[in-house]
Amino acid sequence: MSHPQDTTAPHGDEKPQAGGEGQLRRALGVPSLVFFGLVYMVPLTVFTTYGIVTQVSGGRVPLAYVITLLAMVFTARSYAKMAHELPYAGSAYTYTQKSFGAGIGFVAGWALLLDYLFLPMINYLVIGIYLSAAFPMIPSWVFVLTAIVLVTLLNVIGIVSVARANIVIIVAQAIFIITFAALGIASMSGTGSVDLAVPFTGDGTAEGFGNVMAGAAILCLSFLGFDAVSTLSEEAKDAKRTVPRAIVIATITGGLIYIVLSFLAQLVYPSNDFADVDSGALDVMAAAGGEFLTIFFTAAYVAGACGSALTSQASVSRILFAMGRDGVLPKRFFGRLSPRFHSPIPATLSVGVVSLFALAIDLGFLSEMISFGALIAFSAVNLAVIKHFIIDGKRRGAHAVMSFIVLPGIGFCLTLWLWTSLSPRTLLIGLVWLVIGTSYLTFVTRGFRRPTPMLDLSE
């Protein structure tokens, strides 16, 4: 299927093509894309794994976030470079496919599926955890199931409805962040001296830089928002300009928010002794502002989780659409768009069904697996920049070496370092996932005797 390179012309009024394949509607500018990325990242997602990473890092969550952000800035830059060159839905799948070929592109896309299929689940899971804590008389599965149904319906309606919901959610979280900061600072002012270095030096329970790296590796899931922005290239106005800018802005903004929030949290509650490690943030809120802040946090956090579920389900459905469009996944099902809503309804419904596993899966396991898939994709995109610009594009000179070898090379080394810092269990299960994907590709290509189908992205 051919797609025009002109990214400035609106496609919302075009008729769908034969076979149910239409054009995704170009309706998003830089602000909407940044909002999408931030909602996907969820500014309050710092509290999703707060208890887990606090224990792993020995009370050095802000330091772990600094390390992760450093790696993500280099990787986000690589995404921005590739998004300018290839403004199409598909993210790391598309970038790797066009740089290294269909087979390796499929592996990158398969790794992304791990992220995107699990990220809606983690949002549904924490919705159940926090709402059941607030309303213990209602089983958590009721909240999980209700959220899955509502989010799936909103995504079926289309990307514009998601963008509008994102604005409301970001505003609500911004109000909470200001309130938390004010109450947290007020609570610390009444305790005498406060050691501002503790969030970076730790509480002594898990010493050594390796523990910080292990925490930083888990935190990679917090930065999937910039990857999500790149999946909307076919729904962005002037995608070659707006998408790269939104990727960088969302990454830096989200990272700074994470560092500040985790810094304040560890000053307010300098301990890793939680009533429940999965909902350790509730102990922080109680210490900062008592019952009022705990209730406010629950409301804002659940709203943020719903927003992240909205955007993450939108993104994975577009990954499935891109892979279905080229025939790697069943094209007649995954490669179809709704003529009415201009959204990939079959793919969206599939994600809703898979998300039902949130009813019976572990939060720590989900967090680790999402980071595994993210780091595989991030590494692939950093390498794709080198291949696309230096080897294929034959860019030469000092500027090209710095821009297309040194900087993406640093990004690759940092993401590889984080990847090797994950737990052995995560690495084992992640590798099994990659083996399953490779086996499926072998089946599709009849033992690699047939070429792997590729998207035709030419004029």
- pLDDT at residue number 302: 87
CA distance 148 to 301: 16
- pLDDT at residue number 75: 93
Given a contact cutoff of 8 angstroms between Cβ atoms, the answer to whether 339 and 143 are in contact is no
Find the radius of gyration of the CA atoms of the chain: 21
Given a contact cutoff of 8 angstroms between Cβ atoms, the answer to whether 62 and 212 are in contact is no
Each residue of 347-375: b (16+ CB within 10 Å) or e?
bbebbbebbeebeeeebbebbbbbbbbbb
Given a contact cutoff of 8 angstroms between Cβ atoms, the answer to whether 269 and 287 are in contact is yes
Q: What global pTM score does this model have?
A: 0.79
Torsion sign across C-alpha atoms 391, 394, 400, 401 = positive
- pLDDT at residue number 162: 58
Given a contact cutoff of 8 angstroms between Cβ atoms, the answer to whether 78 and 236 are in contact is no
Show Cβ contacts of residue 441 under 8 Å, excluding neighbours closer than 6 positions.
103, 106, 107, 328, 452
- pLDDT at residue number 18: 36
- pLDDT at residue number 387: 93
- pLDDT at residue number 265: 92
CA distance 148 to 161: 16
Which of 318, 354, 390 lies closest to 93, judged by CA?
A: 318
- pLDDT at residue number 190: 65
- pLDDT at residue number 103: 82
CA distance 375 to 127: 25
- pLDDT at residue number 161: 56
For residue 353, the number of C-alpha atoms closer than 13 Å in the C-beta half-sphere is 6
Each residue of 209-232: b (16+ CB within 10 Å) or e?
eebbbbbbbbbbbbbbbbbbbbbb
- pLDDT at residue number 456: 46
Show Cβ contacts of residue 286 under 8 Å, excluding neighbours closer than 6 positions.
293, 294
Q: Which residues of the chain have pLDDT under 70?
A: 1-26, 89-90, 158-166, 190-192, 341, 453-459
- pLDDT at residue number 421: 86
Given a contact cutoff of 8 angstroms between Cβ atoms, the answer to whether 158 and 343 are in contact is yes
CA distance 146 to 154: 13
Show Cβ contacts of residue 432 under 8 Å, excluding neighbours closer than 6 positions.
none
Given a contact cutoff of 8 angstroms between Cβ atoms, the answer to whether 217 and 375 are in contact is yes
